[in-house]
């Protein structure tokens, strides 16, 4: 557990000129506009959302730059300048969203709808809610003329949902525009318990490596009335069964040891006990505890590399033998393993008649440190709102733009501003995505305190020893 800096408690009680209720109202209006822009990726069309953001920044006289990385696809980077006594802080959010095709929603997906204490709409959680909070924050700080020691950079990117082309472009062509000592992106945040209270601050410091593999087999064509050995579909199916029957071994990385230890107190007795026993294991992980955690896929996936089939393609007619069969295997690889080592293991299990080929790499980056100004600011700001809240580092099983920042030597942390339950979080990319109505009000206050914490000037260096 990081120590909280008690000297900051007075600073965080209030910031002159900041009205959280007005910020939340503005954030909701921004969110409504962004959801209505429908930046479904593909094709993205993030330029529509960027234009909405740019209009508000221009009205507030905040400097910003728009860059185009593909037709109809823009990034935007805005900056409030500090006095230069500390390095910049970056708030990052992406403006593209996943599609809703073949999903039956209870509300129109591209209209923010309030219902039973929640705001529904595609992207309200991933990641337009964070974008709305980030934008409302920089606007409020500008209007209030809050003095900053660090430059505050707010960046909105495109294509996060399909490989991160927007963030990649910024780092390749405009890296200086987003260079910062610490960055906050999606991937963690305040966790709500069943009692509706925040009990844990989850801070993502690393993520699994995203990698697709194509498994394929060739077959001899002919009439299906005369089956031949080594049918292409049979061979790929056998490989999938072998892979499913031999999952990658479960093991405990240091970051997950810390996460399970912190999460244990937040869970029910059975799950909490299992998490605690795994976190404190001094050798092999206890089998009965693993059996409990295997009923929680989002937790169990943090213990090993996972590979699962997502798309299968084979055959041309119902009465013809297939000339080829192939399947996409989507793998999320533990950060201390390599793509090549996973490929070799998959090939070993698939056998000689099935070929395993990696698809294009999505990129990866090193872990951000578990201490330093980022995690410290999260804990200090969080404790100002929830005095007994705990912090736990975690690893994301998915992939986001933080991996590119980390590879560019920017300490990136996944920490969203809006408190949610695990059940709400699982709605991202799915039907009826939602956030609590109160989440925007909480989010703007939390992030204002986060930036205020990071803008405390560093203490002077000690006098030299003679």
CA distance 80 to 4: 27
User: What structural domains does the chain harbor?
Assistant: 6-207+364-454 (3.40.630.10), 210-358 (3.30.70.360)
Query: Mean pLDDT, the chain, as a whole number?
Result: 94
Indicate the DSSP class of residue 170. Answer: H
297 to 161, 185, 237, 426, 434: CA distances (angstroms) = 22, 24, 24, 11, 21
**pLDDT of 10:** 47
**Arithmetic mean of pLDDT, 127-132:** 98
Instruction: List the beta bridge partners of residue 66.
Output: 76
**pLDDT of 363:** 85
**Arithmetic mean of pLDDT, 11-30:** 88
Per-residue pLDDT band at 1 (split at 50, 70, 90): very low
> Tens digit of pLDDT for each residue in 141-177?
999 999 999 999 999 999 999 999 999 999 999 999 9
Instruction: Give the number of other Cβ atoms within 10 Å of residue 202's Cβ.
Output: 24
Q: Which residue has the tokens 């533990």?
A: 334
**pLDDT of 195:** 85
**pLDDT of 466:** 40
> Tens digit of pLDDT for each residue in 315-362?
999 999 999 999 999 999 999 999 999 999 999 999 999 999 999 888
**pLDDT of 193:** 87
Per-residue pLDDT band at 465 (split at 50, 70, 90): very low
> Tens digit of pLDDT for each residue in 253-273?
999 999 999 999 888 789 999
Query: 404: Cβ–Cβ under 8 A, 6 or more apart, which residues?
Result: 164, 167, 168, 171, 363, 365
**pLDDT of 13:** 62
Strands 198-207 and 390-396: parallel
- The pLDDT > 70 percentage for the chain reads 95
Concatenate the DSSP letters of all residues of 276-300 into one string. Answer: HHHHT-SSSPPHHHHHHHTTSHHHH
356 and 213 in contact (C-beta within 8 Å)?
yes
Please name which of 177, 151, 169 lies closest in space to residue 65, comparing C-alpha atoms: 177
Q: Where are the beta strands (DSSP E) in 306-427?
A: 306-314, 324-333, 355-358, 390-396, 411-414
Q: Work out the angle between the directed axes of helices 339-350 and 232-245 (0-180°, nearest 10).
A: 120
CA distance 129 to 31: 6
Q: Work out the angle between the directed axes of helices 46-59 and 20-36 (0-180°, nearest 10).
A: 150
> Tens digit of pLDDT for each residue in 25-48?
999 999 999 999 999 999 999 999
Per-residue pLDDT band at 72 (split at 50, 70, 90): very high
């Amino acid at each position: 557990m990081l120590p909280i800096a008690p000297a900051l408690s007075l600073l965080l009680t209030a910031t002159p000129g900041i009205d959280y209720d007005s910020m939340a109202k503005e954030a909701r209006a921004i969110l409504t506009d962004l959801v209505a822009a429908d930046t479904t990726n593909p094709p993205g069309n993030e330029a529509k959302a960027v234009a909405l953001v740019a209009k508000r920044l221009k009205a507030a006289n905040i400097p910003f730059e728009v860059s185009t990385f593909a037709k109809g696809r823009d990034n935007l980077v805005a900056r409030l300048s500090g006095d230069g006594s500390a390095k910049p802080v970056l708030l990052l959010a992406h403006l593209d969203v996943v599609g809703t095709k073949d999903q039956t929603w209870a509300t129109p997906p591209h209209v923010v709808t309030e219902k039973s204490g929640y705001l529904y709409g595609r992207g309200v959680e991933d990641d337009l809610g964070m974008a709305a909070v980030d934008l409302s924050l920089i606007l409020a700080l500008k209007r209030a003329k809050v003095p900053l020691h660090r430059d505050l950079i707010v960046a909105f990117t495109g294509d996060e949902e399909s490989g991160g082309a927007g963030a990649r472009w910024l780092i390749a062509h405009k890296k200086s525009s987003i260079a910062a000592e610490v960055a906050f992106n999606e991937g963690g945040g305040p966790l709500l318990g069943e009692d509706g209270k925040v009990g844990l601050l989850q801070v993502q410091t690393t993520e699994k490596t995203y990698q697709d593999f194509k498994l394929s087999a060739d077959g001899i064509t002919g009439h299906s009335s005369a089956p031949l050995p080594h049918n292409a579909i049979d061979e790929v199916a056998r490989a999938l069964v072998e892979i499913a029957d031999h999952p990658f071994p479960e093991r405990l990385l240091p970051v997950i040891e810390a996460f399970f230890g912190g999460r244990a107190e937040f869970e029910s007795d059975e799950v909490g006990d299992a998490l605690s026993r795994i976190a404190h294991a001094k050798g092999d992980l206890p089998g009965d505890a693993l059996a409990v955690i295997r009923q929680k896929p989002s937790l169990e996936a943090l213990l090993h590399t996972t590979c699962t089939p997502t798309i299968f393609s084979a055959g041309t007619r119902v009465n013809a033998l297939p000339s080829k069969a192939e399947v996409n295997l989507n793998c999320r690889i533990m950060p201390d393993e390599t793509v090549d080592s996973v490929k070799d293991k998959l090939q070993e299990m698939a056998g000689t008649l099935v070929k395993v080929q990696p698809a294009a790499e999505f990129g990866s980056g090193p872990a951000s440190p578990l201490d330093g100004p980022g995690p410290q600011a999260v804990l200090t700001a969080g404790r100002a709102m929830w005095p007994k809240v705990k912090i736990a580092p975690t690893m994301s099983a998915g992939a986001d733009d933080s991996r590119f920042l980390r590879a560019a030597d920017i300490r990136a942390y996944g920490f969203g501003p809006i408190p949610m339950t695990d059940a709400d979080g699982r709605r991202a990319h799915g039907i009826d995505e939602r956030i609590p109505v109160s989440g925007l009000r909480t989010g703007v206050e939390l992030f204002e305190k986060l930036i205020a914490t990071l803008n405390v000037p560093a203490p002077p260096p000690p006098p030299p020893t003679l």
